[in-house]
Each structure stands twice: as C-alpha cells, then as structure tokens.
A and B are shown apart, each in its own frame.
Chain A
Amino acid sequence: MQLKPVEKEVRVRATRTRRQAIVGLVGVIAIFAAACQAPGEEESGESEGPITVGVLTPTTGTVAAAGTDMLNGWNLYWELNGDEVAGRTIESIHEDTAGDPQTGLQKARKLVDQDNVQVTVGPLLANVGYAIAEYLETQPDVIGLNPVASADDLSQRTPVENFVRTGGWQSSTPHHVAGDWAFDQGYERVITLCQDYAFGHEVCGGFTNTFTDRGGTIVKKLWAPLGSSDYSSYLAQINPGQADAVFMLTVGADSGRVIKQWEDFGLKGEIPLIAGETTLEQSLLRAMGDEAVGLQSFGHYAEGRDSSATQDFVEAYQEEYDDVPSYYSCALYTGAQWFAQAVEDAEGDLSDTQAFLDTLRSVELEDSCFGPMALDEHGGTIMNVYLREVEKDEEGRLVNRPIEEFNDVSQFYWYDPEAFLDQPVYSREYLGEDWPTSCDAFAEDCPLEE
C-alpha cells in the first residue's frame, strides 16, 4: 500500500512517540525491579593476615602542613618499630581529606568500601571528625582511631562507640587548667581573644569556666573570625590598664599574624599573655621569629619535655624529616603506639570488633611523646597538661619548654562528670561564666567563694 506523504509523516511521528513512551516505561520498571533485589553483600574483618589501616589526613587545602605532619608521625612509628605486631602486618593506605567534611566523608567511605580497611585513623579538623564519626556509627565493624580531632562532645555528650580517642585530647581540657592557674597568679580581670568557631569557643569556654569559678572576671570577650588578616582592630581594644592578663586562642596562619602584631602594638611585656594550645604550636613556631620568644601557653604537648619518650621521638623525627615535630606528628605517632599496644594485648585478634574496642579503651600508655595517657569511662583522655614557654634552642629554633606540669588531668577537671555533662557544650553564647552556682557540681574541693 502506498501511503500519502502526510499520512506517512503522521505515522512515523506516532510510532516515534509510542516508542519513546515504551522506552521511558521500561526504564521506570527497571528502576523498580532493580530496587527490589540487593546487590552482593561484603564480608567483615578477619583474624589473621595483614591489618589494613586507612589514614585520613588533609595533604591539600588550608591545613595541608599540619596534615603532612600527621602522616609523617604515623609513618615514623612503623618505620622505627617495624610494621609487624602480634604476628600481623600493619598496612596503611593514605587518603587526602582536603580539610573538607564532604571530601573526608567520601574518602572514609572509599577506604571502607573499596579498600576494605578495618581500621581508620584521623582526621584533623573537628567538623571532618564529626562527619566521619557519623559515618562510622553506621559501620559498627570498623574501628576509628581519633588522635587529633578534639571536639569536646566526641567524648562528652555525643560519643560514638567505635571512634576512640587514641592519643587524642579534648579542646577544653588544657584550658580548664589555664583558667585555674591564671587565678593563682593573681590575675582577677582577663580579656579573652578567641577564634570565632567551634574549636575557639570550646577552648575559651574551658578557660572561662574555671577562671570564673575561682572568682575571676572576664572583662571583655573578643572573637576573631578564622582567617582574619589583620588583628589591629582587636588588639586596639586591649587596654593594659583594664585587665591583668589576656587569654588568646588562634589557629593556623592567624597565630603568626596576631603574635607579630602583639609585639608591634607594644603589648608584649606590657600585659601578660596566656595562650592556648594551638596559638604557639610547633608547626607555627617554625615560621615565627623573636616575637614569640618568652611567650607562655598551655597545651598537652611540649616538644621540649625532658623525658626519653618525648626526646627520642623528637630526635628520630628530626633525623627523618628535618623538622621539630609538632603536636600533630606526636598525635599520630602516639595513635600508632596506642593501636599497636591494643593489637598486642588482643594477641592480634580483631575478629570481634566489640571485644577489640574494649581492649583499645583499656590501653594505658605509661609514657608517650605527650606523657602518660589513658581513657576515662566516657572515652575522654586523661593526660598531662603543660605550661610551656617558647625558647630558642642551641640551633636557633623555637621550641616549647614545659615550666610547669599538671598530671592526670581529666576532661571534667574538678567538676562532677554528671553535673558537667548537664551543661551545653561551650559555644559563643555559653562559656560557663555563671556556672556552677552550687558546690554540688564539684567532684573535689569546692573553689567557689561562699
């Protein structure tokens, strides 16, 4: 039959539309059909053969330098001590988190799904830590070692069972000591200058809480956004006649700028500075000059600590990487030490994740580059805190030398754990200034003035 041209055109179009509809329908059905049946499942951990560890550190992005220090610390431990523990070889796979929660999360997934790692270690930043913790909660067979991310709530209000602080710390812990110590020095009025994000809030909260318990007053609170290029507007608000001391917490490149300007503004020597852990951290001291010499800070790591555990580590690290190791290096080194000890204690058997997590939590390090360390029942680190002073060593490098040592500091400091956990986590709005009002909140002697 011969079709008229127009009819042919119409038919072709009708067929085409029908065909399109069919393709679409088949597609939708296929999605539903496929969604009904699960793809293959994966197997879980083994009790022999090598143990694969996924190392999550940022080696690109704004915190790349510290992330590289972390990686170095981890590798150094296995180089010095051999990668065989209790008959099992430790194999490491590194992935770059880029300091971004999204990327970090994806990398953690990659390590677990594709590389089948049984253990992860890292990351650096608290927000990446939270993202990974959230993921690990859905992967109960994976063991997460967390030697760096210091967000308080990871061992306080919202701990994650399989994300363990192995050689880690809590942001507020060293600074609880600082607040108490500051009042002992006779400082009654203090100005705080802290970085305006979660870590800064937790550090400043730690200082403020204990300092005000003793009867001190915070006369001014200054908050500088992360990445402030100029601190003059903040420093101009610091009037030496108004306060007895300044508590300061900055992070990364901000520290270099604020310490330089601290001297330029003539505040150095004019008013005492109590710095937080990361302001005068070794990785930043490398880029600082004489302006930092003599400044004091609180922290759980002091590279100048006079103990063989610290000094051997510092020497070995220097030999290998030609730098004084920062706390980030020490953290991953200690994380490796902690993990190796746990594998040793479990006689190499990681097949029962729950049992191994218990072993991991019961590890007590008699000494490490940080000093002695153990975990409390909430998973918080009990550790040494040091009052450190920046000095120049024989080779002209800046190092933190401890001038006072505080032993066995708990994340709850002198508070009763339950009462402490009833508070919200420290934030810009809540620094614990007016808390607690009664002596019931204290585990030991009550410092409140009646």
Chain B
Amino acid sequence: MLTIERGRWLALAVVGAGAVALPYMVDSFYVNMATQALYLGLFALSINLIAGYGGMVTLGQAGISGIAGYTLGIAATQFGMSLGPALVVGFLATIVVAVVFGALAVRTGDVYFLMITLAQGMIIWGIAQRWTTVTGGDNGLRGIDRPGFALEYWKYYYFTLGVVAVCTLLVTLITRSTFGLSLKGIRESEGRMRPLGYNVTLHKFWAFTIAGAVAAIAGLLLAMFNQFVSPAAVHVKASADGLLMSILGGMGTIAGAFVGSSLFVVVTNYVSGYFDRWPTLLGLIFVLTILFAQDGIVGAWNRLVWAPLLRRRGRELEAERTVVGVGGPLARGQPVPASTSNVDRGGERAPVPVGGSPASNAIEDKVDREA
C-alpha cells in the first residue's frame, strides 16, 4: 500500500535516481544547467538558513560566497598553490570573514540587518573591483582549475551533486536539531525567546557562520565550474538573485532553495534563447509568487497539496492507532469513528482528558479543524 511516508521516500528516490541518470539522458548543455542549479541551490540554501529559518534577510551573501572563489583564485594563480590546499584556504578565509561580518551584523535586526549585510557585500565587491593587482579588477581572475578527477562536464556534475547532497543533508539535520528549532523560535519572536533564557545573539551568530560555510562551498563550486571569477559574482545583484531564488522556492524550506534555483537557471539559460524579454518573465514570476504564494512554490505545495493529504491521512492514522489501542481505553478490534478520538495529532502521546465529555470533545475537534 502506498502510504504517505512511503510516497515521500519514493519521491525522493525518484528525484535522486533522476539526478544520477541525468547525464545519460540529456546532452551536456542540460547537464551544465543542472550543475548550475545545484550550486546556486546550495547558495540559496545558505540564504534560506539565515533568512528563512533565522528571519534575517541578507543582501550580502554573494560577497561571502565570492570570498571563497576569489581566495581560491588568488591562491591558485598568484601563489601557485595546488587545488587541494587552495580549496582549504578558500574555505577557511570565508569562515573568518563570515565570523567577522556575523559579529557585526547580528547585533542588529530587520532592515538594519539588511543594510549592514548590503554594505558588507559592497565592500567585498569594491575590493574585487578596485584591487586590480590582486583580483584582476573588472577583468576578473582566470585560470582556476577543476579537480583532476572531475574535469569533464559530467564528472563535474557528479562531483557537485555529491558535495551538494552532503551539504544539504547537514543543513537539514541542523534545521531539525534543537539549535534549528530555537532559531525558528527567534524568527517567530525574539522578544519571547530572550526571557526564556536563550542567547538570541549567539544563535544568530552561529546561524550566520554556518550559512557562511555553506555559501563558501557554493562559491568554490561556482569558481571551479566557471574556472573564472569576476566582480559580477560578488555584486549585490548576485546576492539579490540568491534571495530571489530562495523566496521563489519557499523561505524556510530545504527543497525550496533548489526549486527556486532550478526555475531561475531555466529562465536565464533556456527561456532566454527563445524569448527576448526573459528578465520581464522572471520579474512576472516573482510578482505572481509574492501575490499568490508568499510562501513560495514549495510552501504553496505544502499548503495546498501536502497538508490536506496529511490531514486526511492523519485521521486514518488516528483511527488505526485507536484501534490497535495505543493507550486507548477502547477495546481492540472495534472500529471507532475518528471524530470521537482524543488521540494527539502527532500520534506519539495519547492523553485522555480526565472527565472529557462528548461536548468538550466536539469543541476540541472543531478547534482542531480550524487550526
């Protein structure tokens, strides 16, 4: 029988199998597009981590991500380092910058946070643009190598897929940990979390640093993919694009980052070949998303398809649990209408209200439904 749980895993398995089989099904152009969608998705995910989960909207993430690419480029071309150490240096340098920037930015909130991160991103851009002798200025840095085992487009795709999969898994675990939950709490109400004893600033700082690490990996993947890095990669437009992807896909969701980046990549790379006004199209999609699905594509999917399904399934489960008697007072094997059940929605605990009357049950059920 196809249960919801199984369906979910099946869907993930199909997406996974599709991702693995992709280079054998389509030509290199689409594989390169997929590679791009993957590292851009990871970049959007890093924004999602602070903006979607932490409630801090940033406009400087491309600057942080670009530090990784630039450090890699500078280490490789100016200091002649081999790729391995250069990657490590690039990653560590980004962490250092993220720590410094984070320490500055997390003291503020809302629009002030936005302004500070914007300024930070512009600082990086300014350095990239002006410090010509080191960064190559507007002409950018050429000559960044790909790893020896991932030179061809399809090998690089698998390499990216592997790295992105691992990072996504880690981010998923982080968002589901107590840290991730308290971060969501901070997003919902900083003022409540503080009196509860949470160190709000420290949580924000860690979120910023972790997001910086994720952005660093995305930046390294981008630099190696293009074998080139230029100020355009750290410009505020790149940050805004990342934020756009994150919002399009759905803030505060893992899958949303990748849905958003895929949509973005398809419009900029594929649709633009057939339709001259593709920036308008992108803008239109964005406006429509904001108007009709503020929670993004994945958010809308969850709301309109997933949640009703769960709700219906939840009732069935409820009935089943009651039947098999998880702490229920009722006799085994007797069918019980769901509406009379007191079983908690989560199904883990099943408290039976003391002295629960049919009337109060009915009220509870009504409240449940409205919620």
Chain A interface residues (CB < 8 Å from chain B): 5-6, 8-9, 16, 19-20, 23, 27, 30-31, 34-35, 38-39, 42, 59-60, 95-96, 98, 100-103, 105-107, 109-110, 113-114, 126-127, 130-131, 133-135, 138, 151, 153, 158, 196-199, 201, 424, 427-430
Contact = CB atoms under 8 A, between A and B. Distances in A.
Contact of B273 (A23, A110, A131): A110
Interface string B305-347: 0000000000000000000111000000000000000000000
B279 A60 contact: yes
B231 interface: yes
Contacts of A127: 138-140, 230-232
Contact of B9 (A20, A34, A95): A20
| Chain A facing B: main interface SS | helix
B20 interface: yes
B368 interface: no
A27 B139 contact: no
A30 B24 contact: no
A99 to B, nearest CB: 9
Point out which of B12, B27, B130, B138 has the most chain A C-beta atoms below 10 A from its C-beta. Answer: B138
B196 interface: no
A424 B139 CA distance: 14
A5 B138 contact: no
A158 B142 contact: yes
| Chain B facing A: main interface SS | helix
Contacts of A59: 276
B113 interface: no
A121 B33 CA distance: 22
Contacts of B31: 39
B304 interface: no
Given A107-B269, A109-B29, A198-B139, A19 B232 contact: no
Nearest to B132: A427
Given A5-B324, A27-B20, A34-B158, A131 B140 contact: yes
B29 A110 contact: yes
B276 to A, nearest CB: 7
Contacts of A198: 132, 136-139
10 contacts: A19-B9, A39-B24, A60-B279, A101-B226, A102-B232, A106-B269, A109-B28, A114-B27, A127-B139, A427-B132
Given A107-B269, A127-B138, A30 B132 contact: no
A197 B137 contact: yes
B178 interface: no
Given A23-B13, A134-B227, A197-B138, A31 B324 contact: no
Nearest to B347: A9
A126 B139 contact: yes
Contacts of B103: none
B28 to A, nearest CB: 4
Contacts of B138: 126-127, 197-199
Nearest to A34: B20
Nearest to A16: B5
Contacts of B158: 31, 34-35
Interface in B19-52: 20-21, 23-24, 27-33, 36
B232 A113 contact: no
Nearest to B269: A106
Point out which of A9, A127, A428 has the most chain B C-beta atoms below 10 A from its C-beta. Answer: A127
Nearest to B143: A134
A9 B317 CA distance: 12
Closest 9 A/B residue pairs (Cβ): A114-B29, A198-B138, A427-B132, A113-B29, A197-B138, A113-B28, A35-B158, A198-B139, A198-B137
Nearest to B142: A134
B154 interface: yes
B258 to A, nearest CB: 16
B273 A95 contact: yes
Contacts of A427: 132-133, 137
A100 B155 CA distance: 26
A16 B23 CA distance: 31
A42 B23 CA distance: 13
B16 interface: yes
B276 A100 contact: no
B272 interface: yes
Contacts of A114: 27-30
Contacts of A60: 276-279
A130 B142 contact: yes
Given A196-B130, A429-B133, A113 B32 contact: yes
A271 B346 CA distance: 81
B16 A27 contact: yes
A96 B233 CA distance: 18
A199 B138 CA distance: 8
Interface string B266-305: 0011001100111100000000000000000000000000
B188 interface: no
A9 B325 CA distance: 11
Contacts of B226: 101-102, 105, 131, 134
Contacts of B276: 59-60, 96
A113 B30 CA distance: 9
B347 to A, nearest CB: 10
A34 B24 contact: yes
B146 to A, nearest CB: 10
B139 A151 contact: yes
A30 B152 contact: no
A100 B232 contact: yes
B132 A429 contact: yes
B17 interface: yes
Given A34-B24, A427-B133, A428-B132, A96 B272 contact: yes
B273 A5 contact: no
A405 B158 CA distance: 57
